[in-house]
Amino acid sequence: MSQNDAFRALDRQECLRLLSKVPVGRVVYTRQALPAVLPINFSLDTDNSVLLRTSRDSDLIRAIDGAVVAFEADEFDAATQSGWSVVVTGRATVVTDPAEHQRLSESGPVSWMPLDDAVFIRIDSGLITGRELRGTRATR
């Protein structure tokens, strides 16, 4: 297998399909002028935006509300040296509309952490990029 056969860029639809298969990703943002990465469970909304659910007093809300962030999810198999990675880049906003909050409470992501007062954060999927790595491990 040549190097070009081992790597493939993914189109938007394939990226969205892969994102819908995994429950956890990482939000990448700036905290106190430094890069920060936080693993968090998520879901995709009907408009393909990334939805996060966190607590009202979360530092994450203050750090990303209104900011452009990246969100990355992936799946890799070390044994076959194959997998994929998708990055969504867009503006993060706290969902403030009561009807939208209610809809997301019923259909949005369920936090893996217990939350008393949940808040939803939407990351617009303005830019979606992805890549697939096909196994290149030689048999020995």
pLDDT per residue rounded down to tens, the chain (140 residues): 445 668 899 999 999 999 999 999 999 999 989 999 999 999 999 999 999 999 888 889 989 999 999 999 999 999 999 999 999 999 999 999 999 999 998 888 888 777 778 899 999 998 999 999 987 665 44
d(CA 18, CA 119): 25
Nearest one of 56, 17, 54, 18 to 39, comparing CA atoms: 54
Q: Quick one: pLDDT at residue 102?
A: 92
So what's the pLDDT on residue 20? 95
| Domain span including residue 19 | 3-133
CATH number of residue 62's parent domain: 2.30.110.10
| 127 falls within a domain | yes
CB atoms within 10 A of CB 42: 23
In a domain, 56, yes or no: yes
Dist CA 72 CA 2 (whole Å): 27
Number of domains in the chain: 1
Q: Indicate whether 138 belongs to any domain.
A: no
- What pLDDT, on the 0 to 100 scale, is given for residue 115? 77
Does the pTM surpass 0.85? The reply is yes
Question: 9 in a domain, yes or no?
Answer: yes
C-alpha to C-alpha distance for 109 and 15, rounded to whole angstroms = 19
Please indicate, yes or no, if residue 139 is contained in any of the structural domains: no
Exposure on the CB side of residue 113, measured as CA atoms within 13 A = 16
Q: What is the pLDDT of residue 139?
A: 46
Q: Are 109 and 42 in contact (CB under 8 A)?
A: yes
**Is there a contact between 135 and 81 (Cβ–Cβ < 8 Å)?**
yes
What is residue 3's predicted lDDT score, i.e. its pLDDT?
53
